[in-house]
Amino acid sequence: MPPQRALGVAVVGTGKMGADHVRRLHDVISGAQVTAVVDIEAERAKTLADAIDGCTAYTDAAAAMAAHDVDAVLIASPGPAHEAALREALGRDLPVLCEKPLTPDSASALRVLEAEQRLGHRRIQVGFMRRYDPEYMKLKRLLDGGELGRALMVHHRHRNLAMPPWFTEEMLISDSVAHEVDATRWLLDQEITAVTVHKPAPSSYAPAGMRDPQFVLFETRSGALVDVEIFGHCGYGYQVHAEAVCERGTVRIGDEHGPRLSADGRWGGRITPDYVERFEDAYDREIQSWVDATRRGGTTGPSTWDGYAAAAVCEAGVLSQREGRRVEIDLIDRPSLYG
């Protein structure tokens, strides 16, 4: 692709995240153009394509990837559909931004990892966008700088207003805690070696059949302990906090910021309703960084290895959730392609 031309992007899956990424690529990101949208629901894709000059609607990802004006692919279909789209893109050596999860389980993630290795170079960035959130980036810099000493523990809190009706108890781990899995591996720069899921007495507002909230404990290779409170139906807003406890100090991020109102003898502020608003900046930086790297001919950000490791930890987490025991994680050796 000539560097002066905008990157032609096919967005596969145009639901909540995909439609937001189409808007982002069209209105916010520089150097990219949405040239294709793909959805198995033809009407949804057509409505989006009709609003963008030079954009074609497809119902089949492979057909979009074969189009002459598609240089790169952003996958935002549900997790179980990712493997087929990823393998199609790798088969055509197309750069990919794949929303998390890479794939829903470690066996399919491993197949994608092997396909990328056969290609011989990285082509996939996984959509773990917290790595692009300004507060998480500051926390990472502080931990890497070393002035606080080693991180001994991390406390994560991940609260959602409510989950959609199809959201299952397993998804509390595989869909939600997946973000803390990646954040932990990235912040501490090491693998998670074991996971235990505890379930307190459920909230009376939890949907029938779902134990909500849950408390997840990770053990890491260096012996750090990391806990995650995951609350799917807290009922008041979307909150993501993290606090690292180090040898010489603690760092906490995610406390509400933004206008703090004082009036009528009270002070307070607003809690964001969902991730689209809370992590808007992070998604913007993530996609811009992908477009920039891709136009330079490179690949950046969370890799297929990160996607595989996260899938393996989540799989162990779901097993622990089901069987009520500590589960160890056994990763393959990290291939040289992933440093």
Residues forming the site for ligand NAI (CB under 6 A): 12-18, 38-41, 44, 61, 76-79, 81, 99-100, 127, 129, 175, 275
What's the sign of the alpha-carbon dihedral 300, 65, 17, 76?
negative
Shortest Cβ distance from residue 127 to ligand NAI (Å)?
A: 5
Q: Between 75 and 246, name the residue whose CB sits nearer to ligand NAI.
A: 75
Structure tokens at 229: 């409170």
In the bound state, the residue with its beta carbon closest to ligand NAI is: 15
Tell me, rounded to whole angstroms, the distance of Cα 210 from its chain centroid: 23
Q: Between 38 and 57, name the residue whose CB sits nearer to ligand NAI.
A: 38
Q: Between 99 and 246, name the residue whose CB sits nearer to ligand NAI.
A: 99
Shortest Cβ distance from residue 68 to ligand NAI (Å)?
A: 20
| DSSP code at position 211 | -
- How do strand 32-38 and strand 56-58 relate by DSSP bridges? parallel
Q: Alpha carbon of 226 to those of 193, 215, 297, 305: distances in Å?
A: 11, 11, 37, 21
Shortest Cβ distance from residue 187 to ligand NAI (Å)?
A: 17
Q: Between 16 and 92, name the residue whose CB sits nearer to ligand NAI.
A: 16
Q: Alpha carbon of 202 to those of 75, 94, 177, 210, 212: distances in Å?
A: 35, 45, 18, 8, 5
Structure tokens at 151: 């991180």
Shortest Cβ distance from residue 326 to ligand NAI (Å)?
A: 26
- Within the chain, how many helices (H) and strands (E) appear? 11, 15
Q: Between 40 and 194, name the residue whose CB sits nearer to ligand NAI.
A: 40
Strand partners, 34: 9
Shortest Cβ distance from residue 5 to ligand NAI (Å)?
A: 26
